[in-house]
Amino acid sequence: MERRATIKDVAEAAGVGVATVSRVLSGGSASPQTRERVLAAAAQLDYRPSALGRNLRQRRTGGMGLLVPDLTDTFHAQLAEGVLAYARSAGEHVVLGSTAGDPEQESELIGMLLEQSVDRLIAVPSGDEETWAPAIRAGMTVVFADRLPARPSSDDDPSTTAVNDLMLLDGLSSAVRPRPLDVPSVLADDRAGIRTAVRYLRGLGHKRIAFLGGPGHDRRVTAFREAVGAPVDEELVVFGTGSRDSAYAAASGLFQSRPDLSAVVAGGNVLGEAAVLAARELDLRVPRDVSLVMYDDVPWAELCSPPLTVIAQPGRDMGYRAAELVLRSGGRRPRGVVLPTELIIRGSCGPHR
Amino acid sequence: MERRATIKDVAEAAGVGVATVSRVLSGGSASPQTRERVLAAAAQLDYRPSALGRNLRQRRTGGMGLLVPDLTDTFHAQLAEGVLAYARSAGEHVVLGSTAGDPEQESELIGMLLEQSVDRLIAVPSGDEETWAPAIRAGMTVVFADRLPARPSSDDDPSTTAVNDLMLLDGLSSAVRPRPLDVPSVLADDRAGIRTAVRYLRGLGHKRIAFLGGPGHDRRVTAFREAVGAPVDEELVVFGTGSRDSAYAAASGLFQSRPDLSAVVAGGNVLGEAAVLAARELDLRVPRDVSLVMYDDVPWAELCSPPLTVIAQPGRDMGYRAAELVLRSGGRRPRGVVLPTELIIRGSCGPHR
DNA sequence: CTGAAAGCGCTAACAA
DNA sequence: TTGTTAGCGCTTTCAG
């Protein structure tokens, strides 16, 4: 690798000082002729400013980090494409990490980004607020996408609720709970999406509607409970851990333990996939025996027979907006964004029989 | 963002010189007690060495770049997951770019990586060898995955074939063609995969087998032609440009213009998707009216009715191996790797009728 | 075994 | 408008 030209080389070639080169190249003021000469010299030497020097000087790497649980989940891929699209238009780079939904890996990746001085980060979080506190404390600009980190359970670690004698108690509550992270986010309107789906199924005559959830689907479950109304049949609310296998296990278990259910709402495309597979395996026909609506619109939803009715969320847009937020938050702390979902009716839901 | 501790802070706290801290932290030699004190001070200050300083000093950013055409193509997502997995295990980071199959964007991204001094790059290339020459010349270690850049067409630019009077002609051929890029690669055994698929279809009695290709599928088309044997019915070999729309158009056009075809081999999962959609739209039943085998095994292949027969290539492994290659090529120029494919027979192929 | 010092390439004061 | 200079945080000779 032959040494690349440095700013010094350009300065010499143009017969000016390095500062002038820097100025010209970053659009500062300079006399037309100086500018001309610098530009010529730079072109001549095929000069490309090194981000290394600049980064060190400015104590920060440009670009942004992007942390998702799993790229083979098409929704995350869509989100990533959105982020990349905005980043490209802004001339910034993206450092990608995939966490497998594991808070520990997430922490490590945050640490890695910190080490690289990447101080902007978009994440589909897996860990809870405790996982994320270090990043915030370190001064990273963080934007959450698709979901928020869980509040740490208040009785998780009793020792933290013990009175610390150096701590100024404001006498409000005995359980001292940190206040929620103040981080902007780009979310889909899960509540509306789920509600619409449940109402749709209700309108079709379904009474026993199940919810198949995964990690990070808390807001969706809550919306589901709310939409079906009390009393909620808790056996009809089941969870996988994020992997395709566990999603399949959850779906299959659900179908087998509650053959009386007539519809299921899958909280994400991996769970929807599992539901279709499990139903087929158990010889349940969709929608004859069971109606299915899946969160996430993905290209293959249309390939199923029948094509899947879905709650579409704009994955790509969400990524795009998140990147926009994380790059343009100039000191301000913009509040998050909630994007609309849409119920796309295809063929996987039928009347209750 | 409160200033992070620097190596200097640690040195002071430990009462040693910065060089000593550097040595201890990178496993150099030091007396046990010195080491102890440095480690203690570092822990105490929560010191994390900044990659910025190190990078500048070593004139290179660690990590690697990864360029793929489109992450929502599940194969690329699998590949990316493989790369990320190896990178994580090696403690390296990954800068991701998506090119949309556009050589120009690819060039820009290469430029961006060069600017960041990322000198290792894994790519599913879209541009031809000319696009890639700059990266190689700049001294990047590149590894191609899934496919190789096309050789530039020799009659592309007639001026390059003119005799340059400063050029030493070795008198071999009049058309001076640059020799192929010497870049290691991780490929699937396309030839075997396609051949197996074609033989399988032949065995089922199919005579008019079509190939639905996309950008970068040259090796697959060649294998296809070879497998079906001369004379090849050229109307049965059609291409999309990479987008889902164009894939659909190609598939639909193929089915409509040649209703006599009885089987199609899709060169990638996006094309397979398009074929399924187009067939359904035209009321062609799979496999009754047309048999389909798709390159790439993706989770949704099993969701189709009937489940798709596929030529599986190990996307994740390919990414993993590529990352391994790009990181461990210590000066050596390892030859590439070819991984086996597997024909997974599901339900989308039937006997010719 | 350890420390002092010289940069890596760049930008931002500060002077001229 | 320009040039000079002082670092950013780190590694790495080179002396001691």
pLDDT digits (tens, 9 = 90+) for A85-121: 999 999 999 999 999 999 999 999 999 999 999 999 9
> What is the predicted pLDDT for the residue at A163?
36
Q: From CA A201, how far away is CA A220, in angstroms rounded?
A: 16
Q: From CA A245, how far away is CA A78, in angstroms rounded?
A: 22
Contact B117 A52 (CB under 8 A): yes
A56 in Cβ contact with B56 (< 8 Å):
yes
B100 in Cβ contact with B76 (< 8 Å):
no
CA-based nearest residue to A6, from B59, B19, B269: B59
Length of chain A: 353
> What is the predicted pLDDT for the residue at A28?
80
Flag the least confident range among A27-41, B81-95, B159-173, B305-319: B159-173
Banded pLDDT at A18 (limits 50, 70, 90): very high
Q: Is the pLDDT of residue A324 over 80?
A: yes
* Closest protein residue to D7 (Cα–C1'): A57
Q: Which residue, chain included where needed, has tokens 């065995």?
A: B203
Collect all residues with Cβ–Cβ distance below 8 Å to B180 and sequence separation of at least 6.
B129, B151
Here the tokens at position B181 are 């890029």
CA-based nearest residue to B317, from B309, B327, B325: B325
> What is the predicted pLDDT for the residue at B172?
41
Cα B223 to Cα A77, B38, B220: the distances in Å are: 31, 61, 5
Q: Which residue, chain included where needed, has tokens 């929704």?
A: A75
**Average pLDDT for B137-152:** 93
> What is the predicted pLDDT for the residue at A172?
41
Here the tokens at position A319 are 């990524």
Angstrom distance, B58 CA to D11 C1': 8
Chain B residues touching residue A96 (CB < 8 angstroms): 66, 80, 84, 94-96
pLDDT digits (tens, 9 = 90+) for A55-84: 999 999 999 999 999 999 999 999 999 999
* CA quadruple A271, A276, A277, A279: dihedral, nearest 10: 120
Q: Is the pLDDT of residue B169 over 50?
A: no
More confident of the two residues B326 and A334: B326
Banded pLDDT at A11 (limits 50, 70, 90): very high
If one counts every other C-beta atom within 10 angstroms of the C-beta of residue B232, the result is: 15
Footprint of strand C on the protein (CB under 7 A): A 3-4, 6-8, 18-19, 21-22, 25-26, 49-50, 52-54, 56-58; B 15-20, 23, 29-31, 33-35, 53, 56-57, 59
Collect all residues with Cβ–Cβ distance below 8 Å to B140 and sequence separation of at least 6.
A1, B110, B113, B114, B119, B120, B121
Q: Is the pLDDT of residue A213 over 70?
A: yes
pLDDT digits (tens, 9 = 90+) for A223-269: 999 999 989 999 999 999 999 999 999 999 999 999 999 999 999 99
> What's the mean per-residue pLDDT of chain B?
91
> What is the predicted pLDDT for the residue at A171?
39
Most B CBs within 10 Å, among A54, A98, A120, to test the B interface: A98
pLDDT digits (tens, 9 = 90+) for B9-59: 999 999 999 999 999 999 888 899 999 999 999 999 999 999 999 999 999
* Closest protein residue to D9 (Cα–C1'): B53
Can you state the percent helix, strand and coil of chain A, rounding each to 5? Answer: 45, 15, 40
**Average pLDDT for A314-326:** 97
Q: Is the pLDDT of residue A346 over 90?
A: yes
Contact B52 A56 (CB under 8 A): yes
Query: In angstroms, how far apart are the furthest CA atoms of chain B?
Result: 86
Contact A277 B303 (CB under 8 A): yes
> What's the mean per-residue pLDDT of chain A?
91
Which nucleotide is closest to B30, CA to C1'?
Answer: C1
A342-344 and A309-312 beta bridge pairing: antiparallel
Flag the least confident range among A31-45, A151-165, B244-258: A151-165
Collect all residues with Cβ–Cβ distance below 8 Å to B266 and sequence separation of at least 6.
B212, B251, B272, B274, B275, B292, B293, B294, B295
> What is the predicted pLDDT for the residue at B112?
96
Q: Is the pLDDT of residue A164 over 50?
A: no
B270 in Cβ contact with B185 (< 8 Å):
no
Query: What percentage of chain B has pLDDT greater than the value 90?
Result: 84
If one counts every other C-beta atom within 10 angstroms of the C-beta of residue A265, the result is: 32
Chain B residues touching residue A53 (CB < 8 angstroms): 56
Model confidence, pTM: 0.92
B167 in Cβ contact with B176 (< 8 Å):
yes
> What is the predicted pLDDT for the residue at B174?
43
Contact B74 A77 (CB under 8 A): yes
The DSSP line for B81-101 is HHHHHHHHHHT--EEEEE-TT
Q: Which nucleotides of D are covered by protein (CB under 7 A)?
A: 1-13
More confident of the two residues B211 and B62: B211
> What is the predicted pLDDT for the residue at B152?
80
> What is the predicted pLDDT for the residue at A162?
35
Report the gap between the CA of B302 and the closest CA in chain A (Å). 8
